[in-house]
Structure 1
């Protein structure tokens, strides 16, 4: 299956925008509930790093063809976050987050699903770029 380059470019931009949405959920880093429920991964520093990853995705949107291995790193990063979220969901009560703050609850409800979707996207692009290099 092949996807047009313009769609892939939009996928990188969308991945970046989804990461930048942490600004909304964190209320520009003032929402303490997010960090309270996962102080290691979702501290304000962790949220800032999510923004930086988002900027990295958008920075390669138009020239992703030249950075195959970086796309592989993006996939690995998304796999790690999806795994951390899965573990968090198994060991925490999402209702407790919602009881404290709606935006934090929505954030914890969707961030791992988002990371899983973009993990699949980055893997797909990485595999496509590997096939192109190997067939030449």
Structure 2
């Protein structure tokens, strides 16, 4: 199970790096190359969405079927273990949501750049006529 979270954390880190790379100022030729490369990678990277959704469902299922440690019967070790699992679950939810949010941000940035490029080409064609 830890391998899945490590993979998702690496994907989130890569998405954050790509989002930062897309938003940095760059010459037009370099930006067009970066946007073209990222737009080719968007479809294979879209698999992160169902993967994160499955992980969220897994977290929800585990939360619903977890033994609650809220009574006086729990020992200190059990209470600490329960709190650790809750913190891990919260961290993993944030990781899943950030993976989906970063993918959406990258998609929108690429779409805006493509739209700007198409508008610039249309303006150039109109100027030539």
TM-score per shorter chain, which class? 0.3 to 0.5
Higher RCO (C-alpha under 8 Å, 6+ residues apart): 2
Report the structure, 1 or 2, having the larger helix content: 2
TM-score normalised by the chain length of structure 2 = 0.48
